Amino acid sequence: MLSDSFIIIAKTSFKLILSFLILFIPVIFLNWLFLVIFGFSIFENTVPEVGEASRVGMLGIVVFIPFLLVVSVFLLLFPFLYFLVIKKIIIQRGLNVLVNHNKVVLIQYILNKLFEQFKFESLNKETVVQVLNKANSQIVKLNNLPFGIGWIVNHFVAKVPFAESLLQYVQQVEIKSNNIEIAGNELAVFVNEKINLELFDEKKTYYYLLLGINVIAMVVVAIYLT
């Protein structure tokens, strides 16, 4: 049933949020804890003679630049890079779950969201072309999706020739809101012929590489301060 598809999507979304937080929170805490411990020492070593410099106009601002740069690296730059890397991991993890084990569910969910977003009575050759024209690409774009699932759905339709498969399918069958379950099963066959499962392998290489660089940067700063 279609309601079962939404339950699976909701459970997957919850697990992805949890996975994201498990990977993201510790490394953010690590960087911010480092700043709490070494922040004052960084200030002392990067802002020389603040009292005298502050009386010389712009120089009073300039002397703070090294301090702000160092703090920004741990407060903003590393967290932002972790966000990008973890986002990719979550996308790959979600795709592994949905594409390998619940491909039909994912396709049914996408079809249902197409009906919700574009308010079509049916999906046929003309309406699918309209969807692509509105997106100004050969990729179906969906908006207002739940956290995590939105990344996965849009990554899926971008990496898999979903629009091509959908166009091919609606040449033969018109999809209506009351036959989404059947269409999802049949469309999965079209998608399966074009899918490359290696695209969805979960890789943490960049996460560990970034963590290593992060730790090295902390060690270098800590040694400089001592």
Q: Over the stretch 135-168, which tens digit does the pLDDT of each residue have?
A: 545 456 676 777 677 777 777 777 777 777 788 8
Tokens 């702000």 correspond to 68
Q: pTM for this structure?
A: 0.75
Q: Which whole-number Å values give the CA distances from 199 to 26, 88, 196, in the listed order? A: 28, 12, 6
Using 50, 70 and 90 to split pLDDT, how confident is the model at 50?
Answer: low
Q: Quick one: tokens of 54?
A: 């502050």
d(CA 188, CA 166) in angstroms, rounded, equals: 10
CB-CB neighbours of 207 under 10 Å: 17
Alpha helices in 47-148 (DSSP H): 50-53, 59-62, 65-72, 78-101, 103-118, 125-135
Please answer whether residues 208 and 25 qualify as being in contact, where contact means their C-beta atoms are separated by less than 8 angstroms. no
d(CA 18, CA 60) in angstroms, rounded, equals: 45
Q: What is the dihedral of CA 214, 218, 220, 223, to 10 degrees?
A: -160
Q: Over the stretch 54-64, which tens digit does the pLDDT of each residue have?
A: 545 555 566 67
Amino acid at 71: V
